Structure 1
Amino acid sequence: MSLILFNKPYGVLSQFTDSGTQTARPTLSAYIDVPGVYPAGRLDRDSEGLLLLTDDGRLQARIADPRFKMPKTYLVQVEGAPQEAALRQLRQGVRLNDGLTLPAEAECIDPPELWPRDPPVRFRKSVPDHWISLTIREGRNRQVRRMTAAVGLPTLRLVRWRIGDWTLEGLAPGEYRIAD
């Protein structure tokens, strides 16, 4: 059984082939040369960070299936200054168009020491940005982005840092390692 921890760069699809457009987009096949592994969950093309891949179907389901409520922690650069009311809303659950989210863990953090993003996040002198750590236990489509937008804090950069006990620690963008 293999479990691979991969630091998915911005702009890379969470799949091995791209059948979506005429223009070829980067996929996992440009980075991972281990046969028979598949992503356990997804990470949007415009998001970065930890993506787990495995050749074990049961493990893949346990990681990806919302029934198991595996915690996923994201470092989120948001536009604006998070007020306690917005953080409290995230902690209690946010009403989205597909229903109320489960309560999240949310806190303001100092800017993390991350790699530069390519392309860089747009910077505007007149609009402050801050970082929050957000841990969720479900996996709706673009959930973190929708949650932060719903509380008035649009996401500028999104990095998944942790899934369960697995972390991105020590992996540069495009690098992977096989878990012990």
Structure 2
Amino acid sequence: MVMLIALNKPMNMLSQFTSEGGWPALDTLGLPKKIYAAGRLDRDSEGLLLLTDDGGLQARISSPKYKSPKVYFALVEGVPDGDALNRLRAGVTLKDGKTAPCEAETVDTPDWIWDRDPPVRVRKTITDTWVRLTLTEGKNRQVRRMCAAVGYPVIRLIRYSIGPHTLETLAPGAWRHVG
């Protein structure tokens, strides 16, 4: 039987099972043996990471050719205007090419957001705004680079869902079987 696990990867944890550079890895979370991450999240990003023991499923989840939608919540510096959101929606030209069109909208702070450790630096003179983005591709640090390209740097990034799988009520570092 295929194992599929949803994990809420904490901030400053690597998406691999071996610690590196002093950063903790997935091996510290008590996960089952012989599973592998389907895709990855950067060390400084948080949220949903799917893990499986099935190589074919791993490829289907992580490969852009399957266009599995991934929903991210990005806390950005400033308040994105309509032009910036439209540029995100149309696709942004980055050094490695133009991104695919995506969904992008500003949203109120989601009620499921947990406190981050370490906390996000608060500045009195800069307003922060949550942006919800739905992508079907996964270039390296794509959300961060897209938002920066339209003038709104990301200061916190959480992946909420991959396809039908969501964080739901998972606390950072918690995991559950989903398949």
User: Which band: TM-score by shorter chain?
Assistant: over 0.9
Q: Which amino acid aligns with 1:4?
A: I
Give runs of ≥4 in structure 1 deviating > 4 Å.
Answer: none
2:172 maps to which residue? Answer: 173
TM-score by length of 1: 0.96
Matches for 1:1-180 after TM superposition, within 5 Å:
1-18=2-19, 20-21=20-21, 24-113=22-111, 114-180=113-179
Q: How far is the alpha carbon of 1:112 from its aligned partner?
A: 1.3
What is the SS of the residue equivalent to 2:158?
A: strand
C-alpha distance in 1 between matches for 2:47 and 2:169: 12
C-alpha distance in 2 between matches for 1:70 and 1:51: 14
What is the SS of the residue equivalent to 1:29?
A: helix
Cα RMSD over matched residues?
Answer: 0.8
C-alpha distance in 2 between matches for 1:25 and 1:136: 28
User: May I ask how many residue pairs the two structures share in their alignment?
Assistant: 177
TM-score by length of 2: 0.97
Q: Which amino acid aligns with 2:68?
A: M
Q: How far is the alpha carbon of 1:33 from its aligned partner?
A: 2.6
C-alpha distance in 2 between matches for 1:127 and 1:93: 26
Unaligned runs of 5+ in 1: none
C-alpha distance in 1 between matches for 2:176 and 2:83: 39
Unaligned runs of 5+ in 2: none
**Identity within the alignment, %:** 57
C-alpha distance in 1 between matches for 2:23 and 2:77: 28
